[in-house]
Amino acid sequence: MTKKVLFCATVDYHFKAFHLPYFQWFQDMGWEVHVAAGGDMNLPFVNEKFSVPIRRSPFHPENLSVYRRLKRLIQDNGYDMIHCHTPVGGVLARLAARQARQKGTKVLYTAHGFHFCEGAPLKNWLLYYPIEKFLSSYTDCLITINEEDYERAKQMKKTDCDAKKIHGIGVDTDRFRPVSRAESERLREKHGFTAGEFILVYPAELNSNKNQGILIEAAALLKNSIPELKLVFAGEGAMEESYRKKAESLGVSDIVRFYGFCRDIHELIQLADLSVASSIREGLGMNVLEGMAAEKPAVAADNRGHREIIEDGVNGFLVPAGDSAAFADRIGKLYRSPGLRKAMGQKGRRTAECFSETRTVKEMEHIYAGYMDKKEKSV
């Protein structure tokens, strides 16, 4: 009988962006790949896709019906392995898989950044920490992507749950690669920029955690000293209108460009001069790693995810989260020193190679292989 694996997450784009190599690997191993997530995106390397409208809020009443549907799917399909992603998807799938796990189904969960972390609000600790500790009883392997979360996972997990750490979710270092000046200028023309502009790019959802307002403030501090400055936000989100108004009030509407959703994000990174990231909380910082892979030095907020990949002053700069003056200072320093930009960019590329898709796929293959033939009853 063909073995089956179920991947579950809140939205299907999560898999499109990060997990297709794992789908392909399972199919190459002769397994059927099933996916349960919100959305109607067509995904390659998938045998069955179930559209399940998981709500991001853990308290949304519709998640009760989602839980029941997941439970039926798991019972009907007899999965050998279930891999959960995203906070709410991870909660619902692990709860729904409890009976299946007692019959030998292996349940894995990747934490892309615990909501409880150093500096997180007390409410996050009171809500999310007890939930994750409880759910570790229904998890065979808890996978983390940064050192702080890994140490936390080892402390809180139940004895029958393994804790593992991998090097993120994998950067495609072939797609995100450095390009020549001529190619950068071609890309600038394609995307509506000029050769002489000094471009900062931040690919991220426009929300309060990503904290783009700090970068708008930094742009206002730099507008006189860097007249060629352009700050590019590649993404959409609930805070877009608020950020537009902030840019207007600070007199930088002509500097800040709201690019919207971009399918060719690697091109925006390749045409830029710097990568910036202002998030308050980050699991690892994939946008920063993608910039590093393209030899773009980063100026990023000091948080656990950015500390995992940035050595301050070596392959980028770490600045206090929420400190627009510090952002402006480091951006100005890199603007004035092309040599420093080049040196940091080259060191950043070497960092990105340590977090490459090739490496993380091998790490996950090793983890998956360790559970593929385990059929003992779980408790």
pTM here is: 0.86
Q: Are residues 251 and 112 in the same domain?
A: no
Q: Is 233 within a domain?
A: yes
Q: What is the pLDDT of residue 378?
A: 43
Using one digit for the tens of pLDDT, what is the confidence trace for 343-374?
A: 999 999 999 999 999 999 999 999 999 999 75
Q: What is the pLDDT of residue 374?
A: 58
Q: Are residues 302 and 224 in the same domain?
A: yes
How many domains, the chain? 2
Is 195 strand, coil or helix? coil
| Residue 175 contacts residue 268 (beta carbons within 8 Å) | no
Q: Are residues 210 and 255 in the same domain?
A: yes
The parent domain of residue 110 ranges over 4-170+357-372
Q: Are residues 279 and 140 in the same domain?
A: no
Q: What is the pLDDT of residue 158?
A: 77
Using one digit for the tens of pLDDT, what is the confidence trace for 153-164?
A: 998 887 789 999
Q: Are residues 153 and 283 in the same domain?
A: no
Q: Is 308 within a domain?
A: yes
**Strand ranges, E, within the chain:** 4-11, 32-38, 48-51, 81-85, 106-111, 141-144, 162-165, 198-203, 229-234, 256-258, 274-277, 298-301, 316-319
Q: What is the mean pLDDT of the chain?
A: 93
Q: What is the pLDDT of residue 61?
A: 86
Using one digit for the tens of pLDDT, what is the confidence trace for 1-53?
A: 899 999 999 988 888 878 899 999 999 999 999 999 999 899 999 999 999 99
Mean pLDDT of 71-77: 96
Q: Is 327 within a domain?
A: yes
Q: Is the pLDDT of residue 168 over 60?
A: yes
Using one digit for the tens of pLDDT, what is the confidence trace for 321-351?
A: 999 999 999 999 999 999 999 999 999 999 9
Adjacent-strand bridge partners of 198? 229
Q: Are residues 274 and 344 in the same domain?
A: yes
Q: Are residues 329 and 209 in the same domain?
A: yes
Q: Is 334 within a domain?
A: yes
Q: Are residues 109 and 199 in the same domain?
A: no
Mean pLDDT of 179-198: 96
* Cα–Cα separations (whole angstroms), residue 78 to 34, 71, 104, 318: 11, 11, 10, 47
Question: How far is it, in rounded angstroms, from Cα 375 to Cα 365?
Answer: 18
Q: Is 379 within a domain?
A: no
Q: What is the pLDDT of residue 302?
A: 96
Q: Are residues 155 and 52 in the same domain?
A: yes
CATH number at residue 131: 3.40.50.2000
For residue 191, what pLDDT band results from cuts at 50, 70 and 90? very high
Q: Is 262 within a domain?
A: yes
Q: Is 80 within a domain?
A: yes
Q: Are residues 76 and 205 in the same domain?
A: no
Using one digit for the tens of pLDDT, what is the confidence trace for 271-324?
A: 999 999 999 999 999 999 999 999 999 999 999 999 999 999 999 999 999 999
Q: What is the pLDDT of residue 341?
A: 97
Q: Are residues 112 and 165 in the same domain?
A: yes
Q: Are residues 344 and 199 in the same domain?
A: yes
